[in-house]
Every structure is written in C-alpha cells, then in structure tokens.
Amino acid sequence: MRQVLLAPRLNLRSLILLLTVLSVTCLFIFALFFVNYTVKERLIDNSLALNAEYSSRIAAHTNYQFEEILKNLRFSAKLLGQDFASASLRNSETARLKSQSGNFNSVFLADREGHIISFFPTTLNIDSKQVYKTYGITESIKRKQTYISSPYWSSTKKLIVIISEPIFDAQGQYLGFIAGTIYLQSKNLVSEMLASKYGYKKNYTYVMDDQKRIIFHADTQQIGQQVQASDGLTTMLQQQDGAFRLMNSKGIDSLVGFSHIASVSWIVVSQQPIDELFAQANSIIIKVSIGITLFYFFIFFVVWRLSGFIALPLNHLAKMASMLNQPEIQEKINTIDPVYFEVDQFKNSLMLSSQNFNEKIDELNQSVNTDPLTGLYNRRGMNLFIEEFVRMRTDFAVLAVDIDFFKNVNDSYGHDKGDIVLQKLARLMKYHFRDNDICCRSGGEEFIILMAASDPTTVFQAAERLRTAVGLTEMDDMGTVTISIGIAYWPHSSEDVEEVLKMADQQLYQAKREGRNCTR
C-alpha cells in the first residue's frame, strides 16, 4: 500500500491562539524596549537635575563660609595696618584668627620682603629671618590684593592653598599680608564641608580651582592633579552651573553636576557613574516585565477559553462539510447550537448544501445507467459521482479492482461462467463496502470503487477485506479466483481526477507485477 500523509492543517482555534501569541509577543517586546528607554532617560534626567542641585547647594554653602573667611582676613589686615610694628598685636591676631574660626590649618603674617614674622601654631618649623619665596608667598607679595592660590608644596612639605589679604598702613604703603593656609591632604575646611555629603547615591564630589587643579577629592592622591581637558571641562569653566553627561578620566560613563563658588573662583563637581543608575533601571524593568508577563498570561488564558467557544461549533460544522454524503448528516448539523451569527450562517448553508447533495444523489440514482450484468454503476455513473465529489471538495479514494487471469476463466469455462464470476464479485463488493461507497464496473473484468471522506488506513483495510473474501469464495464448479487492487487518492495523490484514475491503474498493474492477489 502506498502511504498517503495528510498535511496538517491549522484550525480556527489554533489560528486565534497563534495570532494572540504573536500579538502579545510583539507588544511585550515593544513595551520592554519602551519601558527600558523611558525609565533610563527619566532616571538620567532626574539624576542630572539632582547632581546640579546638589553641587549648587554645596557651592552656596561653601561660598558663604569663604565670604566669612575673607571678611575675617580683611578685618585682621585693617587692624594690623594700624600698628604693624607691634609684635604682640601680630602674634595675638594670628592666634585669634586661627583659633576663633577653625577655618585654617595655620595662619601666618609676612612682610613685603617675604619674612614670616608671625605664625600660629607656633610649633611650625619656620625661621623668621629667612626670606621665603614659595609660590603662594611670592604671588601674594606680587599681587598686593586678596589672593587665593592654586595648590602648591609649602616650605613645610605640605600640599596647601593659601588665602591672603594685603596689609596697608594709613598712607597706603604696602606692608605685607596676612594669610591662612588649608592643608589639602589633611582634615580641612573644604573636606569637612564636602565629606559629610560624600556618598550621595554612590556619587563622589570634588573641587577644582580656576587653573583646573583639584582642591578636594575623596581620593587624596588626586588632590593637586590637573584635570584633563575635555568638552565637559570647557563647559564647567565657561558656565556658572549646570549638568551634563561625560566619560570621565577613568573611562567611566558619568553624570555630572557643577556649580561655581563665586568668592574663591572654585568649582564644585558632583559626579555619579551611570552604571549605578542603570542598575536601578534594570531592577525596575525586571519588576515591570514580571507584571506585564503575568498580565499577558492572563490575557492568553482568556483568549484560549474564548477561542474554544468561538471555534468549537465552526470546527464541528467544518468536519460535517466533508461528510455530506452520509445519510444522518442533517440530524448532526441540527445539533449545532448557533451561538453567534457566523455559526448560524454556516449551519444554514451547510444544511442547504446537504439537501442539494441528497437531491443530486437521488437524481443520479434515477438518471444514471447501471451495468446490466452486475447491477453496479457504469463508467458514466461513476463520472457523475466523481464530478459531485470534486464540486463539493469531498476527499475520496479510488480503488481499481481487476480479476486475476480472467481470460483463462472465459477460455476454459466459457463466457457464461465468466459472467457468473463478475456477478459474484459485484455482490461481494456491495456486501463488504458501505452503502455510501460507490461501486462501479468500468469495463470487462475491471471495477472501480469510490470511497468518500475516508482515511488511508480505512481504505486499505476495506480493500483487503474484499480481496480476502473473493479469494475464499467458490465460483460454482470453477473453484476460486483472486483479485488485485490499486489505490489512489484525490486530491492528495493529484488535483487532476484523470491523473488520480491513472495512478490507481498504475498501482493495480504494480500489484499484478508483484504476483497478483495483493493491494497496492
């Protein structure tokens, strides 16, 4: 038997579920990308605003502190200008300035030649007879105005910044300056103000001067280093405050907020790695994804239940459409409940088709000629049934049957005996096949059986039952005969009916070539 594999077909419910899965998957992917983009952009915008506000608040607070420092220095400079020669006044004022505010690590007073003539604390290793030419002292004497130095190494081997105020006498003669120092690598005014805020959302804060030198940094090794040139640095030098995104010197993508300390021309920078923000975003996205997934599972469950409600009656009617030749089909169609409009329309159309089919069958039974010898349909009747099957798109099998060595029967016993064999075979065919199967004599000892809406296994089993029964039946005094059978299918073997009939004949001849008395 040639095996015929029926191609799997998607039913309506499968199509609905497939469409739902595709739609939900597309929506899920789109939602995931949209949420990912939106959440990260919103977090970046918020973080930029927070860093800008954070640096601005620190700058404002620091500016206020430095304005107080400069005010105290100006007061001391004015007081010392009235009696600069008084050693007691110089010593008391440096001690007062250091002790009263606590803003400086040390305070000293230098004359216009660069001698440090007074200092506090007095434990400092300073020689009052020596002329000091360090960067801060030289620049203070040279500028003769309020001066805040860049970081430099002092004579005591400390990295410092000095804030100096010039001293003038009543006649406006320059006498020297009074200065406070900030030890950048020790606990100091700036570090105390900024370190308390350090760690805000895993950011870090640093301060640089107008010469791009770092004044304060959580990593003390960075203090005194030059900030590398970049577009971000240019922006910070040109604008008073703001926020932007940049790649820092360590190659870390960061969000930056900055603000100037107006009184000292320093810049407070608050910097936050973007990876930390994205970790927050990913956590949010995972939670949202879980929520969306659970919701989509619920939607899929609802659609699954509804698809069954929608597809079940249509599925039943579709199966019945291929069984219109069965006598009880109208009763089965009537059992379908028309739950919605399309089902009702399909049901009515199918009922009408069944009635037309039955009327056509009755007409065929009355109009077509039968073979007078066997009582089976002749080739004309067979063709009418085939045309109706094709018009109704009803799948059917073609069984080509031929009596083995029938010529020998006619030659040995005569044509009358041969006719008896043909009649007995016709009776066996009617007995072993269903009422709705079409048995035909196509000519001579050749027969055709049409089986509608039958699967290959059922067709093959029916053919074998007939073949076996014929082989066991005594043909009067002629003994027994055998038959060979060939099978083909419409439309699975071919869409062309003539081609299907030829294929059935080819299968029949294949059976004869393989020894006869078999089914192929």
Rounded to two decimals, the pTM is: 0.49
- Give the pair of three-digit tokens for residue 142: 């040279």
Q: What are phi and psi of 517, to 5 degrees?
A: 55, 45
Strand arrangement of the beta sheet that strand 446-452 belongs to: 438-443, 446-452, 396-403, 483-490
Structure letter (DSSP) for residue 477: G
pLDDT of residue 159: 85
- Residue 25 buriedness (CB in 10 A; 0-12 / 13-18 / 19+): exposed
pLDDT > 90? residue 234: no
Q: Do 62-183 and 189-277 come out as alike in CATH topology? A: yes
- Give the pair of three-digit tokens for residue 406: 């029938």
| Nearest CA-CA partner of 135 in 99, 109, 159 | 159
Q: What does the pLDDT average to over 66-91?
A: 91
Instruction: Say if CB 183 and CB 160 are below 8 A apart.
Output: yes
Whole-angstrom distance, CA of residue 175 vs CA of residue 85: 10
pLDDT > 70? residue 324: no
Which of the residues 67, 445, 499, 514 is marked catalytic? Answer: 445
Q: Please name the residue that has the structure tokens 């007691």.
A: 88
pLDDT > 80? residue 12: no
Share of the chain above pLDDT 90, in %: 31
Whole-angstrom distance, CA of residue 35 vs CA of residue 520: 63
pLDDT > 80? residue 320: no
- Give the pair of three-digit tokens for residue 199: 């760690």
363 an active-site residue? no
- Give the pair of three-digit tokens for residue 432: 């072993």
Annotated domain spans of the chain = 62-183, 189-277, 368-513
Q: Please name the residue that has the structure tokens 């075979």.
A: 425
Q: What is the CB neighbour count within 10 angstroms for residue 144?
A: 15
Whole-angstrom distance, CA of residue 53 vs CA of residue 424: 106
CA angle 380, 516, 504 (to 5 degrees): 35
- Give the pair of three-digit tokens for residue 109: 């007073």
pLDDT > 80? residue 106: yes
Q: What does the pLDDT average to over 263-280?
A: 81
- Give the pair of three-digit tokens for residue 238: 């040109």
Averaged pLDDT of the chain: 83
Instruction: Say if CB 364 and CB 381 are below 8 A apart.
Output: yes
Q: Is the peptide bond before 273 cis (omega within 30 degrees of 0)?
A: no
pLDDT in tens, 278-311: 777 788 778 888 888 888 888 878 888 787 777 7
The mean-pLDDT minimum among 169-178, 249-258, 445-454, 464-473 falls in 249-258
Whole-angstrom distance, CA of residue 271 vs CA of residue 216: 13
- Give the pair of three-digit tokens for residue 240: 């008073």
What class does CATH assign to 368-513?
alpha beta
Instruction: Say if CB 207 and CB 269 are below 8 A apart.
Output: yes
- Give the pair of three-digit tokens for residue 453: 């809406």
Residues contacting residue 415 through CB under 8 Å, at least 6 positions apart: none
CA angle 37, 43, 44 (to 5 degrees): 90
pLDDT in tens, 149-182: 888 888 778 888 889 999 999 899 999 999 999 8
Identify the band that residue 2 occupies on the pLDDT scale cut at 50, 70 and 90.
very low
Whole-angstrom distance, CA of residue 449 vs CA of residue 178: 124
Provide the CATH topology of domain 62-183. Answer: Beta-Lactamase (3.30.450)
Q: 3.30.70.100, 3.40.50.300, 3.20.20.70, 3.30.450.20: which CATH number matches 189-277?
A: 3.30.450.20
The mean-pLDDT minimum among 295-309, 406-420, 456-470 falls in 295-309
pLDDT of residue 4: 41
Query: Residue 339, SS3?
Result: coil
pLDDT in tens, 483-498: 999 999 999 999 999 9
| Nearest CA-CA partner of 231 in 221, 220, 239, 223 | 239
Q: Which helix (H) or strand (E) holds 441?
A: strand 438-443
**Parallel, antiparallel, or unpaired for β 174-183 and 159-168?**
antiparallel
pLDDT > 90? residue 433: yes
pLDDT of residue 3: 43
pLDDT of residue 292: 81
